[in-house]
Structure formats: structure tokens, C-alpha cells
Amino acid sequence: MKNLRKCGIFAVVLIILSTLLLTGCNVDDSLKVIGATVNEKGELVINYADGKTENIEVETPTVGTETDVALATSKGLRSSVSIFCTFGEADNNSAYYSAGSGVIFKLDKTNGKAFIITNYHVVYDRNAGVSNNISVYLYGSEYADSEIKATYVGGSLNYDIAVLYVEDSEIIKNSCAVAADIADSDHIFVGQTAIAIGNAEGYGLSASSGVISVDSEYIDMIAPDEITQVSFRVMRIDTAVNHGNSGGGLFNAQGELIGIVNAKIIDENVENIGYAIPSTLAVAVANNIIDNCFEKECSTLQRCLLGITITTTSSSAIYDEDTGLVQIVESIGVVEVSKGSIAYGIVEENDVLVSATLNGITKEITRQFHVIDLMINARPGDTMYLTVMRGDETVTLSIEITEDCVTSY
């Protein structure tokens, strides 16, 4: 990469130098350019015939730009794992296996501990339930002697997210593994780089690159139990994904996690329509599972419900002149407040949601999913402050989160 950058600077030097030589033919001899070099700061130094010099800054590629996919991929590989699950007894001829992927999102390297996000459908089979024999492998160490045993913490069939736990792993202690940097997927844009890293076809970790096609939409499908009808909020991507990519990370051009790959359309008339659960949602679900299930009897996500029905009253694309990007902005109104819910008597019909503050973090509500996703972070005992437009007045409401509003999901 350094050589490429030097070549890039040299090309700029030649272009600028040739331009100066061409324009210098009609000026005083003292202004003629006799040479040019690039100093240690990356500046172009022009040498004139009269002994004077001029330093010109030259812009060069930096780590993490949209053009530097290789570095972003390398960063993503360090937090990625391949996953293999056994269903049934391993020493029995009836045993069968599945392959998938995962992302390290919490890491205590000193003690060899890690929490890993994957898809629920990677570790679950409708006939056998959740696998009790799960192995993960780091990038570059995908062979039998480098097997790392993982245990199931909990999961959500409805969000297709599961969390695995590894402890006291010497392999992790002595590796270059890192926890993924998590990007705020609420601020992704259509056309943004989307790098998928996963265990495609069970052949080990590999990468493919594309772009975000749709920043947020819902897809309906049958859950892994092949009974439950579920609706997932996802990002649509044109990045190539295959069997085994499930549970793997989707990374941006800075190598930050923006999603967890979970589905694709398989049809002879369709090419490269894949889906990923947005990182902000996936991590919120994973943290909820850890808080409620790690070393506890519970095994599934516990979601708090406000008890309000909301709708999008208007939607438009907003153009940002500073960035040159467009983004969808919605106005969210309250249609109904359920009697007996924690919002009853506080939130009113026709309120327009402006922002919500939970645990000291304020979120502007510009998309319908902001409200739904935010509640995954709520815990009994928390207080949510909801700012609404009520007619022509801005009102801030205080809502106490109680045990009564918690439901398994």
C-alpha cells in the first residue's frame, strides 16, 4: 500500500511539474522550475531557477477511505469467526452438522473470554433445538487443533440473533483477535461500502464486497422452527453472500461493523439481493440477551413494551448540502395507547414523537424503527423521557419502565 501511495504522489508530481513547465515558457527565467521532490511530510517541493522553493500539500489516500477496502477487510477479519455446530450425538451416525459465522463483539483477551454474535438459525435446528456442541475458529486458524469450544448464552427466534460465550481460551489469548468496532447503523447511506465476511459454504472465512442497496426495510419469512411467521428489520445489500455467511459481519469502509448477515433471495431471476440485521439493532439484542440470560435461567430476549401504536404520518428524502448525501426522514405519530400500558395516561393519541432519552442517551426520532429498537435497551427501573409535539406545544413526558411491560421475544 505504501508503494501505491508513493506512485500516486509521483503521478501528481509529474502532472504539476509538466503544467508548471508548460506555463513557465512565457515568464521570467527566474520563475522556471528546475526540479521537484516530495518531502517527509508528503508535500511537493518545487525548486525554481532563482534558488527559491515552494511547498505544496498533496492529498494522499488515508486508512479507512472508501478506496481502502483491503485494510477494512483485514480489520473485520480479526473480529470474525467461523462456526460449526453438531446436532445429535457426535459419535452417533445420526449426528448432523451446520456451518455459519459470527462476530466477536466483547473481548477480554487477557483471560481468553469473548462474547460472539451470530444468527439464531445458525445454532438452532427445528428437530434438535439449540446445538450443545458448538465450535468456533479464528481467521487463519481454521483447523482441528485450533478449535475453540463455545457455549450458548441465549437467543431470539424473532430477531434471529444468538450469543455465544468462550472462556479461558489460550488460542484467543495468543491471537491477534479484537472485538469489532460497532458503527451506528442508523446513520448508514445507500451506496455505502458493505463488506461481508463469513464462512461461505463452510470453507472458512472469506470476504465479498458491495454496497448498501436499501438502508432499512422489513422482510417476512418463516422462522427456523418452520412454524412461526416473523418480520425482520434489515438492510438490503448487493454484496455476494452464500450458505455459511449467516451470522457473519457486514463491515463499512472503515472496518466497522454495520450489520449481521442473515438472509438472501435465492431465485434464478434474482442476483445479489442479500440482507443484514443492522448493527445497532443486533448489538442491542445481544446486550439484552447477555443482561437477561448470561449465567441465568432465562434463555431468550426480554423486551420492554411502551404500549403505543405508531405510524408514519409523512416521509421524504432530505438532501444534506454539506455531505452531498440524501437520507429518508419520517414524521412519527401516535395512533393508539393501550389501556394499562406504562404509557397509558402519559402519551396521547396524535402526539408526534420528537426524541427519546434513555440512560442519558438522547435519540432523535426520525424513523419509525427508532422507537421500536430503542425499547430493546430499556430495563425495569429505567426512566424514559419522551419529547413529543402535542398540537403546537413541545412536551417532555416521563415514563417509568416496570416489570409489567416485559415480554419474552
Mean pLDDT of 164-186: 97
Closest to 103 measured CA to CA, from 199, 214, 184, 242 = 199
Which of the two residues, 45 and 350, has the higher pLDDT score?
350
Q: Where are the beta strands (DSSP E) in 17-160?
A: 33-38, 43-48, 53-57, 80-87, 96-108, 113-118, 124-125, 129-130, 133-138, 148-156
Buried b / exposed e over 308-320, threshold 16 CB at 10 Å, is bebeeeeeeeeee
Mean pLDDT of 79-99: 87
Mean pLDDT of 24-48: 60
In this structure, of 94-98, 169-173, 362-366, 370-374, the range with the lowest mean pLDDT score is: 94-98
Mean pLDDT of 75-97: 88
Mean pLDDT of 69-86: 96
pLDDT in tens, 315-357: 999 999 988 999 999 999 999 999 999 999 999 999 999 999 9
* Cβ-proximal residues to 6 (8 Å cutoff; 6+ apart), any chain: none
Task: Output the pLDDT for position 121.
Answer: 96
Q: Where are the beta strands (DSSP E) in 122-241?
A: 124-125, 129-130, 133-138, 148-156, 161-166, 193-198, 206-222, 229-237
**Residue that the C-alpha cell 481454521 belongs to:** 142
Residue 16's pLDDT band (boundaries 50, 70, 90)?
Answer: very low
Residue 266's pLDDT band (boundaries 50, 70, 90)?
Answer: confident
Mean pLDDT of 191-217: 96
Report the run of H or E that residue 6 belongs to, with start and end. Answer: helix 2-23
Angle among Cα 196, 212, 214 to the nearest 5 degrees reads 130
CB of 382 within 8 A of CB of 346? no
pLDDT in tens, 275-317: 999 999 999 999 999 999 999 999 999 999 999 999 999 999 9
Q: Is the per-residue pLDDT at 27 higher than 90?
A: no
Which of the two residues, 21 and 33, has the higher pLDDT score?
33
Mean pLDDT of 199-217: 96
pLDDT in tens, 216-259: 999 999 999 999 999 999 999 999 999 999 999 999 999 999 99
pLDDT in tens, 104-151: 999 999 999 999 999 999 999 999 999 999 999 999 999 889 999 999
Three cell numbers written together for 74: 483485514
* Cβ-proximal residues to 331 (8 Å cutoff; 6+ apart), any chain: 312, 313, 314, 315, 352
Amino acid found at 309: T
Task: Output the pLDDT for position 44.
Answer: 66
Which alpha helices (DSSP H) does 222-324 contain, by range?
279-293
Task: Output the pLDDT for position 280.
Answer: 96
Q: Is the per-residue pLDDT at 270 higher than 70?
A: yes
Bridge partner list, 345: none
Task: Output the pLDDT for position 23.
Answer: 41
67: number of Cβ within 10 Å = 11
Closest to 384 measured CA to CA, from 397, 366, 368 = 397
Mean pLDDT of 36-58: 66
For the chain, give the mean pLDDT: 88
- CA 16 – CA 162 distance, rounded (Å): 56
Task: Output the pLDDT for position 193.
Answer: 95
Residue 52's pLDDT band (boundaries 50, 70, 90)?
Answer: confident
Residue 42's pLDDT band (boundaries 50, 70, 90)?
Answer: low
* Cβ-proximal residues to 196 (8 Å cutoff; 6+ apart), any chain: 207, 208, 209, 210, 237, 239, 240, 241, 245, 248, 249, 250, 251, 261, 274, 276
Compute the half-sphere exposure of residue 267: CA atoms within 13 Å on the CB side of its CA. Answer: 7
DSSP state letter for 296: S
3-state secondary structure 234-257: EEEECCCCCCCCCCCEEECCCCCE
- CA 196 – CA 213 distance, rounded (Å): 14
What are residue 184's phi and psi, to 5 degrees?
-80, 105
- CA 38 – CA 21 distance, rounded (Å): 18
What does the CA dihedral 64, 66, 68, 73 come to, rounded to 10 degrees?
A: 80
pLDDT in tens, 250-259: 999 999 999 9
